[in-house]
Amino acid sequence: MAPSHHCLPRRHLLTATVLSLVLPTARAANVYPAKPVRLMVPFAAAGPTDVMGRITSQILAEATKQATVVENRPGAGGNLGTDAIAKAAPDGYTLGLSAISSLAIAPSLYPRLPYDVARDLTPITLVGIAKGAIVAHPSAPFSDLKGLVAYARANPGKLNYASSGIGTSNHLAGEYFASLAGIDLQHVPYKGTANAAQDLLSGTVLLSFESSLLTAAPNVESGKLKAIAITSATRSALLPNVPTVAEQGYPGFDVPTWFGLVSPAGLPKEVVGLVHRIVANGLKAPTVRERFAKIGAEPVGDTPNEFTRYIREETIRWGRLIKERGIKAE
């Protein structure tokens, strides 16, 4: 008698699961992928986008038995790499792991952006959402939002905060909070996160709206920085004792940083569906969820239509803030 599914080894069950996801669509897509896939990440190595990109590449490689090679293409806040994704052939062999800055903020910030998100890219799935935090140098004369706001009102235009550049998610988080609190914060843009972090740690600037806890949490735990608030809707397991902005008097404040898988426009629907199912299924694995948790993030894996709608909503949200605050690109 043939063995039942319940008797199969775990690895055989996993293979069977993957094949059930792959085979029906693969036939329609000429057995995709037939060669290694390039996954472009428009940011430098070791950051949260890169971490999520490498997790995604591993999911794809393990499911398809084809190599998925991560290629970092940083520059212009992610716009250079995202443009390269948009201009690649829509054959499924170039995918991209981009982020909020390039997909939802840049369209309102750069009048001559070399790509059009709606026209040139196909959203596949929202891979993950990372929680951020407002952090301060230990010398800052406040330890919570009430103190921060009081200090800013008593010293208008003197409280400065660092960001990795104009129009980045941590810049706009600061602008958004300043508008809600009715305070004047002095924005100090840097060219990249490394320089901004260096001046924050030295006390040259007092404040930062960190878009990821990947480096912020260790610096808080070591005493090099102090956490003022979590900028997402719920607290972070990495800093469980730090209340959210909403808890401290600003209900509805939720500014996570998100990352999504996209492809050049024109990718066949069969391939879009196949890649989505593989990645969404892989994001459910406990080991993957644990890797996300270590950087203060949560996996998502929504549908292409849901991700398309989310990008559109986020573009409207941040476009409105950019217009209201008169933010201009460098």
Across residues 30-58, what is the average pLDDT? 93
The secondary structure of the chain in percent helix, strand, coil, rounded to multiples of 5, reads: 45, 20, 35
pTM: 0.88
* Average pLDDT of span 185-214: 94
Mean pLDDT score of the chain: 91
At 206 the pLDDT is: 97
Give the rounded percent of residues in the chain with a pLDDT score beyond 70: 91
CA distance 78 to 53: 13
Q: What is the mean pLDDT of residues 167-194?
A: 94
- C-alpha to C-alpha distance for 328 and 314, rounded to whole angstroms: 18
Q: What is the 3-state secondary structure (H, E, C) of 234-263?
A: CCCCCCCCCCECHHHCCCCCCCCEEEEEEE
Q: Delineate the domains of the chain, giving CATH numbers in brackets.
A: 9-129+256-324 (3.40.190.150), 133-248 (3.40.190.10)
